[in-house]
Structure formats: structure tokens, C-alpha cells
Amino acid sequence: MEQTFIMIKPDGVQRGLVGEIICRFEKKGFSLKGLKLISVERAFAEKHYEDLSSKPFFSGLVDYIISGPVVAMVWEGKNVVSTGRNIIGATNPAASAPGTIRGDYAVEIGRNIIHGSDAVESARKEIALWFPDGTVNWQSSLH
Ligand code: CMP
């Protein structure tokens, strides 16, 4: 079954949108397969966005992603990569339709709340980067 990587960026976490975003993916019918609240270092954020390293906004983008904790998630379901992108809305919130996450909650391209993999292959790479030990942590006992 297809999987995608979804990240709620620091502004989405700070603004209390985690529950709303999870709700939208759950109500659509997708299954949550992995989730963690995590602060990442500069080198890790640069790795995640390495395809954009030549863009003029790259260092600002990395500053933004490391400015606070993010929620990293894996969602699973039929066509979840492309449908997830539709739920999220266009990269620039000025162009994202009402009813999408960015269309409803964002105005700035540099503060667009959420990231979703753009293709099945990038989802595979991003899931491997963010969840190198798998998506479920098994513990034999809790203390
Ligand atoms: P995301 O879906 O995470 O993919 C790449 C990110 O780069 C994008 O969301 C935006 O946060 C950011 N981005 C893309 N274009 C610009 C831009 N022109 N200025 C600032 N940030 C941008």
C-alpha cells in the first residue's frame, strides 16, 4: 500500500494545528503509520531539502524548519501521495484553494505549515530519512 511522508512545520505546531491536520487525513480515510515530535539540526534539514539547495530561499527555509519542533508522520492509503498533496493545497498559500490546509490556515509561502512528499519515490526517501529505525518503536517495558 502506498505511503507518504507528511511534516507539520514549526509554525503549524506552534499555532496548535496538529490535531486539525491529523483529523483531516484520518477523516479522508488514510491510516497513520508513524508519528513523532522532533527537533532537527541544520544538517538534517539541509539533507531533507537537498533538492532545493541552489534556491535563493534555501537557507531561510532551513532556518525555519529548525526553529522549533516539527511533527513527522507517515500516512498510508490508496494514492495517498497525490491525494495528500491535494489535502495540503498548493505550495504558495496565495494559490491554495479554500478547504485545503494551506488555503485555510496560511498566507506566506515561507510559513506554509506543512510538507508532503511530491512523488512515491520521494516519499520512500523521506520516510527512510526521518524514520531510519522504522515507524513503530517496540519497548518490552515502560518505566
Ligand atoms: P514544501 O512543501 O516543504 O517544499 C519546499 C518548501 O520550500 C516549500 O514547502 C516552502 O516552504 C519553501 N518554498 C518554496 N518556494 C519558496 C519561496 N519562493 N520562498 C520561500 N520558501 C519557499
Q: Can you tell me the mean pLDDT for 30-52?
A: 97
For 58-70, write each residue's pLDDT tens digit: 999 999 999 999 9
Asked whether the beta carbons of 92 and 109 are under 8 A apart, the reply is: yes
**Residue 86 assigned to a binding site:** no
Distance (angstroms) between ligand 1 centre and the Cα of 110 equals 6
pLDDT band, very low/low/confident/very high, at 141 (cuts 50, 70, 90) = low
Query: What's at 121, amino acid-wise?
Result: E
143 is catalytic: no
17 lines ligand 1 (CB under 6 A): no
Q: Model ipTM?
A: 0.95
> Cα(99)–Cα(64) distance, rounded to whole angstroms?
25
Cell of 97: 484553494
- Among residues 72, 83, 62, 59, which one has the least CA distance to residue 12? 72
Distance (angstroms) between ligand 1 centre and the Cα of 142 equals 40
For 3-19, write each residue's pLDDT tens digit: 999 999 999 999 999 99
**Residue 112 assigned to a binding site:** yes
Q: Which element (helix H / strand E) includes 105?
A: helix 101-105
Distance (angstroms) between ligand 1 centre and the Cα of 61 equals 7
- Among residues 100, 110, 119, which one has the least CA distance to residue 51? 119
Write down the catalytic residue from 35, 40, 115, 116: 115
For 80-135, write each residue's pLDDT tens digit: 999 999 999 999 999 999 999 999 999 999 999 999 999 999 999 999 999 999 98
